[in-house]
Amino acid sequence: MPVITLPDGAQRTFDHAVTVAEVAASIGAGLARAALGGKVNGKLVDTSFRIERDTTLAIVTDRDPEGLEIIRHSTAHLLAQAVKQLFPETQVTIGPVIEDGFYYDFARATPFTTEDLAKLEARMLELAQADQPVRRRELPRDAAVAHFRSLGERYKAEIIAGIPGGEPISLYGQGDWEDLCRGPHVPSTGKLRAFKLMKVAGAYWRGDSRNEMLQRIYGTAWPTQQQLDAYLQRLEEAEKRDHRRIGRELDLFHMQEEAPGAVFWHPKGWRIFQQLIGYMRAKQEAAGFSEVNGPELMDRSLWEASGHWQQFGENMYTTQTPDERVYAIKPMNCPGHVQIFKQGIRSYRDLPIRFAEFGKVHRYEPSGALHGLMRVRAFTQDDAHIFITPEQITAESVLSTQLILSIYRDFGFEDVRIKFSDRPPKRVGEDAVWDQAEAALEQAAQAAGIQYTLNPGEGAFYGPKLEFVLRDAIGRDWQCGTLQVDLNMPRRLGAHYIDEHSQKQVPVMLHRAIFGSLERFFGILLEHHAGKLPAWLSPVHAVAMSITDRQREYVQKVADLLKKQGVLVDCDLRNEKVGFKIREHTLQRVPYLLVAGDKEVAANLLSVRSRSGKDLGTMNPQAFSERLRLELESRGRHTLED
């Protein structure tokens, strides 16, 4: 007589073994229809799973994150079923869930076309509407290998052959098709109502470039058509906001094959980049940081001592000199900062010592992973390392967290999620040291009053970290800042300070980045603001333009005056219609447009309009300069449009 304990603490007793679906039905017909799976003692299972003993149970529906994952995994199977029906010569490989959807890899001599995707999507819809029950069965490993070999599915057979012999193999089937899978899956294909195939790409079997190339079909799936439509609309908006497109339109930067993963900054883009640095420099100086700069090329021995060579070596660029010394271009700034800390005798009275650097680093990224400014090989970090005593961890972590969140607010990011990333499988240091570091960071997070979610196994190889994730204007998340507690690297590199008892002690080192990569943050800003950067960040604050040649001298004089007052202003004195000029500079996302005709010249005024098209009336140059100054100082919280 199993007793089922539900999430609200209620219990239900049955006089026989019962399935998850039957429990859902005993609660209500609506829940039975909505059930996609269950969590039995925390483990995700199918609705057909039989419960034979006392257990805890949560019914999973499409309102749960696990329910969405079940939908997407099941839709990947629906795709594979459609492929085998329409293109039976195709072999199937794997089809996992990914962010916002799924993919499935196929081996097929003839490439899939756009027309093929349309046919597949139509067949998937037919299969979903047929509401085919999804069944599960198990086979011994060798029997499963033989089964898939008999079907000509050598990739599936290879996957199963790599599974330990004692493990039962689960297969999921629907209609005339069956696939290897751990599950769980929806009870029937009728639960799959909103999906779309997105694109085809190449992918190597098992991700190894030495293996054959497969075809990967990407798709997305959602609980309802409304959610699917909203997602597709977000994609359309994201395309309009693509930072690479905006970079070209605004003449900010470009990238080319001769320097993969590196940026060619144009004048306006470089001006914005330097404004980011200037802003962060002022913030850090006010927070007690001292700016330093370390070498970009350092001997292999230092990277071995820090642990980077062993943990990160395949991502480092190296060179060998004629005397056979091996050097690495730095992928991180921390070992250099430890070397600066080690110069001279440090007392506990000197701590905290806060070093900051706008350090250029290089990391090898596979060419397929490169993506504009978002994923590069050469980038600048706003890196900082704080050397402290163990007793100072909480206070310094709180200060760093407050600084990070205040800076994000200045850039228009109010929605910031925080993740706690603990020890990764590949790491340096003893478990006892990790226990101490994780406990210290948890205590600091609690003291800062922040809420966080656990991101297990994703800490740095030398210490746990807090990750700061920004949500942008169209609901996408970007992981930017980090705060890490490191009890390992200072010890490995021989750093110490003298305590109050005249004894040597190893300092704790906090690693802190806010932008993370300045290049990536630049791209995020462009997409978040759709290229319409706030005036305080814009490379040009205003464009002054004449209506006819009669105003040329006046407009030039006004522009010269505004420049002396710190306004970044350009002149447009071309013999073009003023409407054409306004449209052109609006498309360039210039915050303010200043127009002068005969009436404005006579009264020493400017007609002011914003890039949104709002007419802000007339004002004299001095009044415009003063109002703009207030806007710049307030980081855009008060604009001329207010």
Short-list 522, 473, 530, CA closest to 275: 522
Angle (CA) 354-442-348 rounded to 5° is: 35
Residue 187: what pLDDT? 96
Cβ burial, residue 621 (10 Å; 0-12/13-18/19+)? buried
The domain ranges of the chain are 3-61, 66-238, 256-294+331-528, 542-633
Main-chain dihedrals φ then ψ at residue 627, nearest 5 degrees: -65, -35
Convert 107-129 to b/e letters by CB count within 10 Å (16 or more is b): beeeebeeebbeebeebbeebbe
637 is catalytic: no
Short-list 511, 561, 260, 558, CA closest to 393: 511
Candidate list 105, 116, 179, 383, residue with the active-site label: 383
62 is catalytic: no
User: CB neighbours (10 Å) of residue 291?
Assistant: 13
Do you know the residue count of the chain? Answer: 642
Short-list 636, 392, 429, CA closest to 525: 636
Give yes or no for a cis peptide into 352 (omega within 30° of 0): yes
Chain segment 524-534, per-residue pLDDT in tens: 999 999 999 99
The CATH architecture that domain 3-61 belongs to is Roll (3.10)
How far apart CA 517 and CA 332 sit, in angstroms, is 11
CATH number (3.20.20.140, 3.30.980.10, 3.40.1000.10, 3.40.1080.10) of 66-238 reads: 3.30.980.10
What tokens does 240 get?
A: 């309009």
How far apart CA 61 and CA 58 sit, in angstroms, is 10
For domain 542-633, the CATH class is alpha beta
Sign of the C-alpha dihedral computed for residues 400, 405, 411 and 413 taken in this order: positive
Residues of the chain with pLDDT below 70 are none
Candidate list 330, 363, 377, 611, residue with the active-site label: 363
Residue 434: what pLDDT? 87
What tokens does 420 get?
A: 């706690």
Residue 443: what pLDDT? 87
Q: In the chain, count of helices (H) and strands (E)?
A: 20, 35
How far apart CA 127 and CA 231 sit, in angstroms, is 23
Candidate list 46, 243, 334, 520, residue with the active-site label: 334
385 is catalytic: yes
Residue 167: what pLDDT? 79
Short-list 410, 562, 550, 397, CA closest to 463: 397
Q: Which residues pair with 65 in a beta bridge?
A: none
Residue 19: what pLDDT? 94
Residue 258: what pLDDT? 95
What tokens does 1 get?
A: 């007589």
What tokens does 173 get?
A: 């089937």
Candidate list 193, 511, 581, 611, residue with the active-site label: 511
Candidate list 191, 241, 427, 465, residue with the active-site label: 465
381 is catalytic: yes
233 is catalytic: no
- Contact of 397 with 444, CB cutoff 8 Å: yes
Short-list 105, 133, 121, 99, CA closest to 194: 121
Alpha helices in 307-348 (DSSP H): 308-312, 334-341
Residue 209: what pLDDT? 79
Residue 207: what pLDDT? 81
Candidate list 174, 215, 284, 381, residue with the active-site label: 381
Residue 449: what pLDDT? 85
Give yes or no for a cis peptide into 2 (omega within 30° of 0): no
How far apart CA 563 and CA 544 sit, in angstroms, is 11
How far apart CA 559 and CA 549 sit, in angstroms, is 16
The CATH architecture that domain 256-294+331-528 belongs to is 2-Layer Sandwich (3.30)
